[in-house]
Structure 1
Amino acid sequence: MIVFDGVVKQFGDNVVLSELDFTVAPGEHVTLIGPSGSGKTTILRLLMTLEKVNRGTIHVGGKCLSHMDKGGKRVPADDKYCREVRKRIGMVFQQFNLFPNMTVRGNLIEAPCRVLGLSKEEANARAEELLELVGLSGKIDEHPTRLSGGQQQRVAIARALAMRPDVLLLDEVTSALDPELVAGVLALLRDIGETTDITILCVTHEMGFARDFSHRVMMFDRGKVVEDAPPSELFTQPREQRTRDFLRAVLDRH
């Protein structure tokens, strides 16, 4: 479902991703761990076409994100093409990024109506289903500012799912939450992972969640994959010293 092939991303002289190769199979849950600044969030931003690669290619569902075919020629992707590819991808951000001027209902139906062309009736029905899924069915006409951080993050997850994505990207979705709210959001994500066939790529510092949720965990450092293994192996018998050092530092802190 996701293929990175020789991807290089740099900002000025700073190389953030260096000849990065990895794949994620349909329905697979892959978690990226590693120190801050190792390139994990950049991977998600590239998948959302918020950044462009300097070299290499990224494919989602068989479609290249950076180039398209036009008249039998391979040319740089235009905005319309990027929007079409991006329909297949949902993202939940650290800071929720809800529209404060809209109700919860408005946040959930805006993109399905505008982008997917759903009728308001269809979009509303979908919104109500999703809010029930995330435990907020009584909050559909509230504004986000009247919700707790944990509730806002649940709305953000529901909003991403409202687009019926094939791929869901999770960027440190608990980092802005009070500690007592983290467990509820992680439990919700586990339920979604178990009850849908969505491909999920997750960046997190929550090692317990990574261990329970993932089919595979990839350890990143300095723009490269240091180690890639099932969580049962990576968390108990990591092969690489860099992985061992990182896990020791993170687990000691908690």
Structure 2
Amino acid sequence: MSTEPSTGPSTELVRFEGVGKSFGEHTVLDDLSFSVSPGQHVTLIGPSGSGKTTILRMLMTLERPDRGTIEVGGERLFPADERQRRELRKQIGMVFQQFNLFPNMSVLRNITEAPVRVLGMGRDEAEERARGLLEMVGLADKAGARPAQLSGGQQQRVAIARALAMRPKVLLLDEVTSALDPELVAGVLDLLRDIARTTDITMLCVTHEMNFARDISDQVLMFDSGRVIEAGPPEQIFSAPEHARTREFLGAVL
């Protein structure tokens, strides 16, 4: 992971270079440059409103940068035409704070719908993969249930399985436990730890769960006012942060 632009050939899976974004008078990203290598687990920490979720939403093409470039796999996501964005978007999966499951569909259909419609996967293959993912997340017996019949923790497990069903190169995690009751948080975090340990998927995670960030991260980026003010391995950021703002933030949340 680098927080500086590179002039050589790109080996990064995700690259932001000089990205800026404002909402009205409020600047949320200010000349942001960073990159993530394949297989890395990078966690974004910092106060609310510092631009972390906006980064994930841009990668999902839910927001557009006002300036700068974003690349995925060496190809332009922004600026680019809509067809290219749609193709690159297939490489990215996201798990949201709110589970965003389709309430009128079964758990199995929630997981198979996008692989069938977006990737053109055969329904039998999609269902076989979905059942394997449900087993992985501990919900093999819930394939026929509707989301309303599940607990919040179970719904978030389905959302994780749905994201993985697209076989993404990058998995984005946006405060995935913030909507859960406290007793359900540990199970979801343990599942994500297992995924981080047992797969080579690249992860870009926004979280206020600092112990989780310490456990899964190769690199941690501390954000403040739309910029990366400090970056390093978790043992450095959490045990010996160099920036006063990082120390102040961690003192408030740890």
TM bucket, shorter chain: over 0.9
Map 1:157-236; keep pairs closer than 5 Å: 157-236=160-239
- Match of residue 150 from structure 1: 153
The Cα of 1:184 is off from its aligned counterpart by 0.5
The alignment yields a C-alpha RMSD, in angstroms, of 0.7
Equivalent residue number for residue 89 of structure 2: 86
**Equivalences for 1:93-132 in 2 at 5 Å?**
93-132=96-135
Aligned length: 242
SS at match of 2:239: coil
Aligned residue number for residue 3 of structure 1: 15
Amino acid of the structure 2 residue aligned with 1:52:
R
Corresponding residue to 1:38 among 28, 34, 50: 50
Q: How much does 1:93 deviate?
A: 0.1
Q: Write the mapping of 1:4-23 to structure 2, written as runs, cut at 5 A.
A: 4-23=16-35
Q: Distance in 2 between matches of 1:90 and 1:57?
A: 20
The Cα shift of 1:81 comes to: 2.2
User: Residue by residue, what CA displacement relative to the aligned partner does 1:138-171 show, whole Å, maximum 9, x if unpaired?
Assistant: 0000000000000000000000000000000000
Map of 1:52 onto structure 2: 64
Aligned equivalents of 1:150, 1:53: Cα separation in 2: 33
In the TM superposition, residue 67 of structure 1 has moved relative to its aligned partner by: 3.0
TM-score computed with the length of structure 2 as normaliser: 0.94
Q: Deviations along 1:179-209, whole A, 9 cap, x unmatched?
A: 1111110010011111111110000000000
Deviations 1:87-132 (A, max 9, x none): 0000000000000000001100100000111111000000000000
Paired AA for residue 33 in structure 2: D
Tell me which amino acid in the other structure corresponds to 2:141.
G
Return the letter of the residue paired with 1:83.
R
**What CA distance in whole angstroms lies between the structure 2 residues aligned with 1:33 and 1:49?**
21
Residue 246 (structure 1) aligns with = 249
**Deviating 4+ runs (over 6 angstroms):** none
Render the CA deviation track for 1:43-63: whole Å, top value 9, x for unaligned.
000111101111100001111
Contact (CA 8 Å) 2:19, 2:32: kept in 1 or not?
A: yes
- 2:191 is paired with a residue of what secondary structure? helix
Q: Which runs of 5+ in 2 are unaligned?
A: 1-12
**Residue 83 of structure 1, CA deviation:** 1.4
CA distances 1:205-246 after superposition (whole Å, capped 9, x unpaired): 000000001001110000000110100111000000000000
Deviations 1:20-44 (A, max 9, x none): 0101010000000000000000000
Percent identity among equivalent residues? 67
What residue identity is the alignment partner of 1:182? V
- AA aligned to 1:85 is L
CA distance in 1, matches of 2:48, 2:24: 19
DSSP-derived class of the 2:102 partner = coil
TM-score using structure 1 length: 0.94
Matches of 2:86 and 2:155 in 1, distance apart?
A: 25
Residue 7 of structure 2 corresponds to which residue in structure 1?
A: none
Deviation at 1:7, TM superposition (A): 0.4
Residue 70 of structure 2 contacts residue 79 of structure 2 at CA under 8 Å; is this kept in 1? no
CA distance in 2, matches of 1:219, 1:81: 31
The CA distance in 1 between the partners of 2:21 and 2:253, in whole Å, is 27
